[in-house]
Amino acid sequence: MTKRQIALLACTAALAASGLGAAAPSAASRAVHRVKPGESIQRAVDSARPGDTVLLAPGTYRESVRITTPNLTLRGSSLFPTVLVPAAAPGADACAQAGNGICVTGTKDRPVENVAVRSLTLRGFAKNGLWATWTDRLEVQRVTAESNGTWGIAEDRSVRSVLRHNTARDNGDAGLFLANTVTEEGGATDTDGTVVSGNRVSGNRIGITVRRLRNLSVDHNEATGNCAAVFVVGDESTPRAGAMSVRHNRVHENNKLCPKTPRLPFLQGSGIVVTGAEDTVVADNRVEDNVGGSPLSGGIVLFKSFVGVPNERIDIRDNVVLRNGTADLANRDVGTTNTFRHNTCGVSEPAGMC
């Protein structure tokens, strides 16, 4: 044996002893758990190991599902509908008791990582179609969330998510909802690059809500038929919401009428609304035919937060914003560092921004 071979063997042995040279589980060791209508999805999820896939045959499943296993994929059929609806009598599981369809649940000390949910329809749940909390690298793709009581697809306390090519329609509040936390006050969370892209939201109270978050992108989505299309929400908390981009979205005819709530006035005809945020780019969007008489109505609207905090350094540029009422571009903020540049529009408030 040569000196080079001896050195290579010694190095390999050292790596093995340290664990640094351990190979990832091979594809052959990853199991596929197949489930048919009438069988329990939860039983298959509970028996799955990291790296496994739970594959659902087309059909209707009457249950809620809680996922806590990392590196797990839950997938329906890409050719025929795979639908989850509420059970007639929800069991004792916390996900079902809360009125959710799918729950992806980690903890502060151990966020659940690399869960993927694909090609499913989540319909008619009392609260949310999909709810995720304390997740890292969650992927939700080609999921339809419709007619759920609060949010279609929602998450908090989560980072590096990808929500792509989903449909969220006719949900009670937001079709897609992303927030720092829904249980307490606090500063904005840095998402480390969450992506909300290629989704279609329609018939919701708000199409996409991004609340108290930083470092994410909302791009290439279509929003129509909602009361309001896209809401970026911040306030006086530290760190501030912002450091995000809203680009290349198609926002049109969001003219559904929604009554006021304790936090918001009535909503109708709002395209893209930014409140209480900082360092955000709103660019290359097409925003048309959103018409209403709410204080938040208009194509692209800057509005101080509802605790009175102005936006700062919002860059609104290169958008096509036409036939919106009461204005295509509306600066109803008191901040002085926000800019409107190179937009195509007909009416602005105040005048002179078109």
Q: Check residue 9 and give its pLDDT.
A: 45
User: Rounded to an integer, what distance in angstroms lies between the CA atom of residue 131 and that of residue 245?
Assistant: 24
- Kindly tell me if the per-residue pLDDT of 153 is higher than 50: yes
The DSSP 8-state label assigned to residue 117 in this structure reads: E
Residue type, 12: T
Q: Which helix (H) or strand (E) holds 97?
A: helix 94-97
Mean pLDDT of the chain: 92
Cis peptide before 238, with omega less than 30 degrees from 0? Answer: no
- Kindly tell me if the per-residue pLDDT of 190 is higher than 80: yes
Quick one: pLDDT band at residue 323, thresholds 50, 70, 90?
A: very high
User: Rounded to an integer, what distance in angstroms lies between the CA atom of residue 263 and that of residue 285?
Assistant: 27
Q: Of 344, 161, 174, 193, which Cα lies nearest the Cα of 258? A: 174
Helix (H, G, I), strand (E, B) or coil at 332: strand
Phi, psi of 88 (to 5 degrees): -60, -35
Q: Tokens in use for 182?
A: 């829904």
- The pLDDT of 263-278, averaged and rounded, is 95
Q: Of 254, 193, 197, which Cα lies nearest the Cα of 223? A: 254
What pTM did the predictor assign? Answer: 0.91
- Kindly tell me if the per-residue pLDDT of 148 is higher than 90: yes
Q: What is the pLDDT of residues 8-28, one digit of tens each?
A: 444 444 434 444 443 445 555
Q: Which DSSP string do the residues of 5-72 spell out, in sequence order?
A: HHHHHHHHHHHHHHTTTPPPPPGGG--EEEE-TTS-HHHHHHH--TT-EEEEPSEEEE--EEE--TT-
Q: Which residues pair with 274 in a beta bridge?
A: 232, 302
Cis peptide before 295, with omega less than 30 degrees from 0? Answer: no
Domain boundaries, the chain: 173-349
Q: Check residue 237 and give its pLDDT.
A: 87
Residue type, 198: G
- Kindly tell me if the per-residue pLDDT of 91 is higher than 80: no
User: Rounded to an integer, what distance in angstroms lies between the CA atom of residue 291 and that of residue 323?
Assistant: 8
Q: Of 309, 350, 219, 193, which Cα lies nearest the Cα of 272? A: 219
Taken as a whole, the chain contains a residue count of 354
Q: Which helix (H) or strand (E) holds 4?
A: helix 3-18
Q: What is the pLDDT of residues 198-238, one digit of tens each?
A: 999 999 999 999 999 999 999 999 999 999 999 999 988 89
- Kindly tell me if the per-residue pLDDT of 2 is higher than 70: no
Q: Check residue 26 and give its pLDDT.
A: 55
Percent of the chain with pLDDT over 70: 92
The DSSP 8-state label assigned to residue 137 in this structure reads: S
Burial of 349 (0-12, 13-18, 19+ CB in 10 A): middle
Helix (H, G, I), strand (E, B) or coil at 96: helix
Are the C-beta atoms of 123 and 97 separated by less than 8 Å? no
Quick one: pLDDT band at residue 6, thresholds 50, 70, 90?
A: very low
Q: What is the pLDDT of residues 45-87, one digit of tens each?
A: 999 999 999 999 999 999 999 999 999 999 999 999 999 999 9
